[in-house]
Each structure stands twice: as structure tokens, then as C-alpha cells.
């Protein structure tokens, strides 16, 4: 019988990309639930966490924040504005380059990031931690790893 999808994979449960998509959706849903009590979206949490982790008196430029977070600069600009409106970050022009905006988490923003980080790390441990009863090392076929994470 031919595969109606014309795929090199006989079923979706051996396709690493499809498995990754499934696992990612489950993980993102768990992250959303964990962040909900902290009133943060995932991207807001990531940006606050990056700002908190790299905390300095001057903060960092939005371009640096975008680079460190691996996020689109335009999206970072929009999210930072929303966080500033909520009092979680401060924005001000860079003293050396008036075109650049410097960003720093406020005390409330840093506290929110710390509290939310505990919740996120619990989700990560549940999703990516060791599995009891499975002696295989994680360095195997990607599909095996992703199937294991689905359980």
C-alpha cells in the first residue's frame, strides 16, 4: 500500500518534526498554565527573565535584549512597551546613542520574573527530566526521545 501523504515516514509517530510539534504544543500549554497566575505571557516572561538575569544599573538596549532572547526586534519593542505600561520595565533613551532605547526590569518586574521562573522550571523538569524505568540514554534517535517526552 502506498503512503497517501507520500511521506518517507509510514506514520506520524516516527516523524521527528511531527513529534516535536506535538511535544512543543503540550509544553507551551503547560507553560501558559504555569505563567497565568503571574499574569505573564510566555514572551513577557522570557524578556523579563533575560533582563533580570543580565541585570545591570543601565539595563540593556532593546536590540541587545532581542539578541539575547533570540526574538524578533519589532516584537520585543511591542512587548517591552506593554511591560513598561504595567510598571514591570523602565525604558529610556541610551545616553550614547539617542536612537537606542535602554530597558531595565523594575523591582516589581524582577520579582515577578523570579516567581514565574520557579513555575517555569517545574514545567521544564516535568517535561524534560529523567523518566523512571527507562534505562536508555537520551542520546538516541530524535523520534525516540520525542516519543519518550510525550508519555
Evaluate if residue 140 carries a pLDDT over 50: no
What are the tens digits of pLDDT across the range 56-108?
Answer: 888 999 999 999 999 999 999 999 999 999 999 999 999 999 899 999 999 99
Instruction: Give the pLDDT band of residue 23 (cuts 50, 70, 90).
Output: confident
Report d(CA 23, CA 126) in Å as an integer.
Answer: 12
Evaluate if residue 53 carries a pLDDT over 80: yes
The structural domains of the chain, ordered by start, are 13-126+136-150 (1.10.10.10)
What are the tens digits of pLDDT across the range 117-130?
Answer: 999 988 877 776 66
pLDDT for 134: 58
Query: Average per-residue pLDDT in the chain?
Result: 86
Q: In what order do the strands lie in the sheet with 60-61?
A: 60-61, 101-105, 89-93
Instruction: Give the pLDDT band of residue 16 (cuts 50, 70, 90).
Output: confident
Amino acid at each position: 500500500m502506498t503512503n497517501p501523504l507520500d511521506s518517507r515516514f509510514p506514520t506520524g509517530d516516527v516523524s521527528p518534526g511531527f513529534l516535536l510539534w506535538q511535544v512543543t504544543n503540550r509544553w507551551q500549554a503547560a507553560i501558559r498554565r504555569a505563567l497565568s497566575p503571574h499574569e505573564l505571557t510566555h514572551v513577557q516572561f522570557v524578556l523579563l527573565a533575560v533582563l533580570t538575569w543580565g541585570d545591570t544599573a543601565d539595563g540593556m538596549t532593546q536590540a541587545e535584549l532581542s539578541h539575547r532572547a533570540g526574538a524578533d526586534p519589532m516584537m520585543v519593542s511591542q512587548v517591552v512597551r506593554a511591560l513598561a505600561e504595567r510598571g514591570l520595565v523602565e525604558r529610556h533613551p541610551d545616553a550614547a546613542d539617542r536612537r537606542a532605547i535602554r530597558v531595565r526590569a523594575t523591582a516589581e518586574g524582577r520579582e515577578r520574573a523570579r516567581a514565574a521562573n520557579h513555575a517555569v522550571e517545574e514545567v521544564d523538569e516535568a517535561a524534560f527530566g529523567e523518566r523512571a524505568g527507562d534505562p536508555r540514554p537520551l542520546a538516541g534517535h530524535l523520534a525516540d526521545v520525542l516519543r519518550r517526552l510525550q508519555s
